[in-house]
Structure formats: C-alpha cells, structure tokens
Chains A and B, each alone.
Chain A
C-alpha cells in the first residue's frame, strides 16, 4: 500500500513534467510553422497612385496575390450606383477600383475584357463588372478589397487605414 502510493506519486510527478514538456513543445512546433518575419515584412506593398492611366486595368502583386487596380474614367465615376460608390477608393481627385484579383468562388484569376469592361473567370464562369461586383454566379460576393492605407498620393497595401476599416465594418469586404 505504502509502495503503491509512492509509485502513484512518482507517476503523477512524471505526468506533470511530461505535460509541461508536451505543451511547451506544441507551442514551439506551432510557432515554427508560423510565417517567418521576413515573409510578414514583405507583406506590404506601396503603390504610387499617380501613375495609373484611366480606364486601364493594371495588375500589381501583393503577398503573392494579384491586385487589380483600375483608375475609373469620369463616365464611370458619374454613373456609379450607391453600392459601387461604397467600394470606391479615392486618392486625391482620382477614383479607383482596388481589389484582390482572385475569384471569390475558388480563387482562380478572372480575365479582364477591356471592350466590355468586365471580368470573366474561366474556371466556373463567374463574372464581375468594372466596379468588382458579381454580375453572374457562382462567386458568392464581390472581389475582396485588400487592407490599404492612403498616404498622400500613395497607397500602402497590408496596412489598415480608416477608409479600409470603414469598408470592413460596413461589410463591403471581408
């Protein structure tokens, strides 16, 4: 009886040591799989918004993903609906469509048809208009907008500015 309680204590003591060790190793293993600081540091891209030509789609790259930048023509700006205005990114006097160029269905890259000013995803036939809204399913929602911060005539992708925060809070983007 005396012996078995002593063994019981030793078992519990080892269990405690092993438990602490196991939790510690899991933390280390989890952290080892986290994106590296260099990867995170490279997660910011600065765009000079003064260089974009009107009405032309330019694809930039941020965190390895394509970013659509389309400087809207005055006609586009004039014809915008309320929901399209809500997605508008305004830098100085210029209006932009700024979005992650991945279909919100399964992540393929839609192609831009300059003549029709619309996007078509070849994977499953989803379509978007020049403002980034869905015009044909299956995509469940408009293009996602990357986190951005307006700094003068520049935009920093990856940082959260007040304009982006407002969009996120109102559910315009995820």
Chain B
C-alpha cells in the first residue's frame, strides 16, 4: 500500500488520494494549444456547450414525455408546452439546439477540411469526428420521432423504408427495425430508448475518443506548422511567454474560447426566445396519421443536402449515391493524397475544390427544400452529380500538388 501522511490541507488530502494537481496540469494548465489560431478554433467548445444544453433540456423534457402512440403528441404539445411551468423553455432550447448543433458541426468540419486538420497524425481526430456526425444524425432522427406528429410519422416511414435497399426489397429488415409493419408503438418505444440512452452513451464515448485523439498530434494551427510542443512549452514555463508558440489550455486559451461561447450563447438564446419557429415544423403539429400523407415531405435543413443526392435519381442509383455521400467524408484523409497540411488558400487546385464543394452543398441544401419540379430538379441533379465528381476527382487533384 502507498504511504499516506497527515494532510496539511484539503487540497493535500485530495492530492495524496487523487493526484488532483497532476490531473489539473495534464488536462488544463499544461495542455498546450498553439497561439496561431482564430475564432474557428472555438467551435469545439461551442459544440460541447451545445451538447450540454441538449442534455440538460432533455432531462427536463424526459420527466413529462410519454413514449406511447396515444399520449406522446399531447404530452409534448399540451403537457410540456402548456401545463408544465417553463416546459416551453426546455422544448425550445432542445429543438433550437438540435438544429444549431448541426450548423456548428458543419462549420467545425469545413474548418478542419480548409486547414488540413485531418492529416499527419490527425486522422483519428477526423474519423472520431465523423463518427460523432453519424451518431448526432441518428440522435436527431430518433428525437424527431418522439412528438409523434405527421412529420415524425412520415419521416419515420420514409427513412426506415430506405433500409429495404431499393431493388433488393428487404422488407423483412424494415419490419424488424420497426417492430411492426408500419411505424407504431414498438417503433416509438425503441426510438425513444435509442434517443435517451444508447445514442447519448455512444456520443459521450465518442466525445471522449475525439478529445483523446487530440492529445498526441495536438491542435492544428492557421499555417499547418509542425510545432515542437515539448520545446515550446519549456520556453513558456521558463517565463518566455511571448516568445513561445504555445499557450496553456486553461486559462489562456479558455478565456478566448469562452468569449466566443458567450457571443454564441447570446445568439442562441435570441433564437430560443424570438426565432424558435424554424426548428419546429408546422406540419408536425398535426398528430401522426398513417392514412394521410402530408403534401410535401422533407427532412430538417441539416439533412437536405444528402436527401437531395438521393432524390433526383431512380430508386437504386439514388440509394447508391446516398450511401456514397454518407461514407465519403470519412475517407477524406486517404483521398487527399497531398502531403501538404496547410490552409486551402495555399494549395492551388485544392482551394478551388474546397469552395466548389462548400457552395455545392449549400445548393443541394436549398434544392432539397424546394419541390422537385422544373428547373429546381435539374439544378438538384447537376449539384448531386457535381458532388460525386468532386470526390472522385479529389485524389487526382491532390496527387500532383506542389510542396507548399
């Protein structure tokens, strides 16, 4: 057994048992962050805070929500919205955060692509991040089922139908996922379980992996410069704070981080209090009805780009294109063959590729919302084809890139 002495203070007592000082150093004061970064490096913290908002608001919603096809709709729209004091607040926070979290995820993702933060030892950060994107998508979808309105029901119908895999007609698999021939009680209860337990557990585990993946390669910087973190941190600790290229995670970096978080939260609560409508589809304020389809079925804005890749093609080709879009981002570190880990602006053709991809995904998002008629369906088709071409072209574009 280790040797313990009489503690001189509470801190010393804890130190002997939990090594709190050491932990604090490893996690915060001697976790080194490059100085050469901008506000986009705060998106990770913004996401962590948004996740916390989702968790807390979710806990309060969970106390009144009834996962029963007869009661679910009223427990949300009557009990929570009218009976429970401040119930509306939790629902609006939850709904707005679920939408905004994807906006920030996309910013976070495209920041990573722009600065090449998926290369040179940072591949695991990218992969764990993309796994988080997938689990967040599943979390958003399962949560969307819970109010059991018309959009919940029909989105559940259409999305689970995708698992019949078109021409393969795997209806048995679809019925297995639903636990019924159509979305019904078994479906609602299992998606409720996924939404409040299994998927949040997976997300928390993946967040841990995402953070752990950062420890060894460290955070990237605005120039993709390879920093000797050991030497630079020595310089900092020796007192040359100005000359060192790194700073402490806490409180140096955190103070700036939380400044961005503060601005974000003002914007966030502005949405919660005054502009929450965008996150609550009016069609979903009709209770689920399996014998009546809404005129237009469309997903939430953050799924529109991949929905638009599915839509313009015939059933089977659409599914293949959709599957392609789901996995291709994951492979980015191996499709980008250039050794340059610098901002896109210094990478010639890759810079053009980056901006075309970004604009293409915005176009896909816009077209996904519009009914697929006339010129919109043509634009949608072209944008979907362009998305696939861009990814197929990426290895060829990056292969002969000059050393930056």
Contacts and interface: CB of A to CB of B under 8 A. Distances in A.
Interface of A: 30, 33-36, 39, 43, 59, 61, 63-66, 105-109, 122-125, 138, 140, 174
Contact of B179 (A39, A107, A108, A109): A39
B161 A106 contact: yes
B314 A122 contact: no
B158 A59 contact: no
Contacts of A123: 293, 295-297
Interface of B: 154, 157-158, 161, 169, 175-182, 184, 186, 190, 290-293, 295-297, 314-315, 372-373
B293 A64 contact: no
A109 B181 contact: no
Nearest to B371: A124
Contact of A122 (B175, B176, B293): B293
B180 A65 contact: no
A65 B158 contact: no
Contact of A39 (B157, B169, B186, B291): B186
Given A33-B176, A35-B175, A140-B315, A109 B184 contact: no
Given A59-B291, A122-B293, A123-B296, A35 B181 contact: yes
B179 A35 contact: yes
Given A122-B293, A174-B169, A35 B161 contact: no
Query: Chain B's interface: helix, strand, loop or mixed, by majority?
Result: loop
A174 B176 CA distance: 19
B158 A61 contact: no
A36 B177 CA distance: 12
B185 to A, nearest CB: 9
Contacts of B175: 35
A59 B293 CA distance: 14
A30 B172 CA distance: 13
Nearest to B377: A124
Contacts of B290: 61, 64-66
Contacts of B176: 30, 33-35
Contacts of A138: 314
Query: Chain A's interface: helix, strand, loop or mixed, by majority?
Result: loop
Contacts of A122: 293, 295
Contacts of B314: 138, 140
B315 A64 contact: no
A108 B293 contact: yes
B186 A36 contact: yes
Contacts of A108: 154, 293, 297
Given A124-B372, A140-B314, A174-B169, A109 B293 contact: yes
Which of B177, B180, B182, B293: most chain A Cβ within 10 A? Answer: B293
A106 B157 CA distance: 9
A122 B294 CA distance: 9
Contacts of B169: 174
Contacts of B182: 63-65
A29 to B, nearest CB: 11
Contact of A43 (B161, B181, B372): B181
A108 B292 CA distance: 8
A35 B180 contact: yes
25 contacts: A30-B176, A33-B176, A33-B179, A34-B176, A34-B179, A35-B178, A36-B179, A39-B180, A64-B180, A64-B182, A64-B184, A65-B181, A65-B182, A65-B290, A105-B315, A106-B158, A107-B158, A108-B154, A108-B297, A122-B293, A122-B295, A123-B293, A123-B296, A124-B372, A138-B314
B65 to A, nearest CB: 22
Contacts of A125: 373
Nearest to A61: B291
A43 B161 CA distance: 19
Nearest to A30: B176
Contact of A107 (B161, B181, B186): B161
Nearest to B295: A122
Nearest to A138: B314
A16 to B, nearest CB: 28
Nearest to B291: A66
B183 to A, nearest CB: 8
A93 to B, nearest CB: 30
Contacts of A30: 176
Which of A66, A124, A174: most chain B Cβ within 10 A? Answer: A124
A105 B313 CA distance: 11
Contacts of B184: 39, 64
Given A59-B291, A106-B297, 9 more contacts: A35-B176, A36-B186, A39-B179, A61-B290, A107-B293, A108-B154, A109-B292, A123-B297, A124-B372
Nearest to B190: A33
B140 to A, nearest CB: 20
A39 B179 CA distance: 8
B48 to A, nearest CB: 32
Task: Enumerate the 10 nearest inter-chain pairs by beta-carbon distance, A residue then B residue, closest first.
Answer: A64-B182, A63-B181, A108-B293, A109-B293, A122-B295, A64-B290, A39-B180, A66-B291, A35-B179, A35-B180
